[in-house]
Amino acid sequence: MAFQLRSDKKETETKSIRFPLSLIDRIEAAIVGKDVSFSGFVIQACEFALLNMEDDNK
C-alpha cells in the first residue's frame, strides 16, 4: 500500500516533539503544493507506520 496524503481535520491535542532539521526540510519539501500541513503530514505518516508495522506477537 502506498502512502498518500489527504486533507483531513480531526479533534487534536498538542504534543511537543523534536525533529532533526534534515527531516523537517524533507517533510516541508514533500508537502509543497499539497493541501496538507506539516502536522497533517506527520499524523498521516504515523498512522501509516502503525498500520504497516510488523506484529511482534506473530
Cβ atoms of 32 and 5 within 8 Å: the answer is: no
Count: domains in the chain = 1
- Domain contains 47: yes
- Domain contains 16: no
Amino acid type, 35:
D
Categorize the per-residue pLDDT at 54 as very low, low, confident or very high, splitting at 50, 70 and 90. Answer: confident
- Domain contains 5: no
Question: Given this model, what pLDDT does residue 58 score?
Answer: 56
- Domain contains 25: yes
Cβ atoms of 31 and 38 within 8 Å: the answer is: yes
- pLDDT higher than threshold 60 for residue 51: yes
Q: pLDDT tens digit string along 7-45?
A: 666 677 889 999 999 999 999 999 999 999 999 999 999
Mean pLDDT of 38-58: 88
Structural domain boundaries enclosing 32: 21-51
- Domain contains 12: no
Cβ atoms of 8 and 41 within 8 Å: the answer is: no
Question: Given this model, what pLDDT does residue 2 score?
Answer: 78
